[in-house]
Amino acid sequence: MVNIGEFARLGGVSTRMLRHYDALGLLVPADVDPHNGRRSYDVAQLTVLNRLIALKGLGFSLDEVGALLREGVEPTELHGMLRLRAAELERQVRHDRHTLDRVQARLRLIEQETQVNPHIQTKYVEPLTIAALSAPAADASRQSTGAVVQALFEEVITQMESATADRTTPIARYVPTADAPAVDVTAGYAIAGTVPGLSLCTLPATEVASIIHHGPMNTISTAYQALAHWAESTGHSPATWREHYLEANGEDQSNWIVELQLELPSTSSTR
């Protein structure tokens, strides 16, 4: 039997937290002096405290931790709660990544505006699973692809809305076909889980050359030309590319932010 200060030290928590857990009934001291209210804990209660901390560390609320601590939670029930938690965390991670992408795009925009920088950046992108639809376009020009992309997104949005899936960054990918000037267009949203009516496709991890465009889509050719110029001067031939619509809300396109990514074929390096 130790007092609250000692128990807190042993458990690596604050005394305030222990009083809080007591108040919530999560971890009641083994004994309370009826005269002065002082709490005494059994050292064996450290096990409970550790489980409490572990569950809290998995991101459960104290309410949920309480439910889990009370004996009688069947493994299947715990399993269900953990699956929910995992799904939440996946959503959270995707959301934060999306925000991070947007913050980084804005950083690069500022750098472009203040200095005459090489706007092009090469980077590695991780594999990306998107719920998407595909269709061919006659050629790689914006005149040809624009309508195709728009139609695809409208269809994708319809499907996702009826499935109440949450959307993050819209992404389009353009792949040259064997059929001369025609390109295959894929458009969709990064997602976890599945959406009925949409196929999930995983865009491969790859090295890309990336540039940020700011403004309406009808002025994006500047960025494309810069990217094409870069590709030419570095000996790459433009091929498959992607568009990440990082800020693209509403019809007013004047503040749209779009990242163009040119996929660079792996130079069959070490790997």
Partner DNA sequence: TTGCTCCTCACGTCACGTGAGGTGGC
Q: Is 6 in the site for its own copies (CB under 8 A)?
A: no
Contacts of 93 (CB under 8 A, 6+ apart): none
Residue 6 interacts with, from DNA, its own copies, none (CB under 5-8 Å by kind)? DNA
Work out whether 81 is an interface residue with DNA (CB under 7 A): no
107 binds its own copies, rule: CB under 8 A:
yes
Q: How far is CA 226 from CA 208, 232, 233, 235, in A?
A: 14, 10, 11, 14
Q: Which of 1, 14, 83, 96 binds DNA (CB under 7 A)?
A: 14
Q: Are 194 and 248 in contact (CB under 8 A)?
A: no
Binding partner of 126, given DNA, its own copies, none, CB within 5-8 angstroms per partner class: its own copies
Question: Counting contacts by CB under 7 A, is residue 46 touching DNA?
Answer: no
Binder of residue 37, out of its own copies, DNA, none (CB less than 5 to 8 A by kind): DNA
Question: Rg for the chain (alpha carbons), in Å?
Answer: 27
| Integer Cα distance of 53 and 14 in angstroms | 12
Chain-centroid distance of CA 120 in Å reads 23
First-to-last CA distance in the chain? 59
| Cα 120 to Cα 39: distance, rounded to the nearest angstrom | 63
Enumerate residues 198-227 that contact its own copies by CB under 8 A. Answer: 204-205
- What would the two tokens of residue 38 be? 């002082």
Asked if 61 interacts with DNA (CB under 7 A), we say yes
83 is a site residue for its own copies (CB under 8 A): yes
**Contact flag: residue 19 with DNA (CB under 7 A):** yes
The minimum distance between CB 163 and DNA, in angstroms, equals 23
Contacting residue, 1, 11, 31, 36, with DNA by CB under 7 A: 36
Q: Strand, coil or helix: what is 61?
A: coil
> Out of 6, 20, 42, 102, which residue is the one contacting its own copies (CB under 8 A)?
102
| Contact window for its own copies (CB under 8 A) among 14-22, 23-31, 109-117, 160-168 | 109-117
**Options 3, 14, 50, 234; binder of its own copies; rule CB under 8 A:** 50
The full length of the chain comes to 271
Q: Is 42 an interacting residue with respect to its own copies (CB under 8 A)?
A: no
Q: How far lies 201's CA from each of 85, 184, 212, in Å? A: 25, 14, 24
Answer yes or no whether residue 32 interacts with its own copies by CB under 8 A: no
Q: Return the structure tokens found at 263.
A: 């996929």
What is the full DSSP assignment across 190-215?
Answer: E-SS--TTSEEEEEPPEEEEEEEEES
Binding-site ranges for DNA (CB under 7 A)? 3-6, 14-17, 19-20, 35-39, 56, 61-63
Binding-site ranges for its own copies (CB under 8 A)? 50, 54, 57-59, 75-76, 78-79, 82-83, 85-86, 89-90, 92-93, 96-97, 99-100, 102-104, 106-107, 110-111, 113-114, 124, 126-127, 204-205, 247, 255, 266, 271
